[in-house]
Amino acid sequence: MDTISMAYAKAHLPELVKRASRGERITIVRYKKPVAELGPSPKAEKQKPKFGTLKGKAYLIDPRALEPMTDEEVDAFLEGRY
Is 32 within the bounds of a domain?
A: yes
Does the model's pTM come out above 0.85? no
Determine, yes or no, domain membership for 71. no
Cβ contact 19:37 at 8 Å: no
Residue 14 lies in a domain: yes
Strand partners, 68: none
4 beta partners:
28
The residue segments making up the domain with residue 14 are 2-38
CB 55 within 8 Å of CB 73: no
Rounded Cα–Cα distance for residues 26 and 30 (Å): 13
| pLDDT tens, residue by residue, 5-56 | 999 999 999 999 999 988 899 999 999 999 999 998 887 766 677 777 777 7
Domain count, the chain: 1
Q: Label residue 82 by pLDDT band (50, 70, 90).
A: low
DSSP 67: S
Average pLDDT over residues 50-75: 82
Inside any domain, residue 8: yes
Residue 22 burial (10 A CB sphere; 0-12, 13-18, 19+): exposed
Classify residue 31: in a domain, yes or no: yes
| Residue 24 forms part of a structural domain | yes
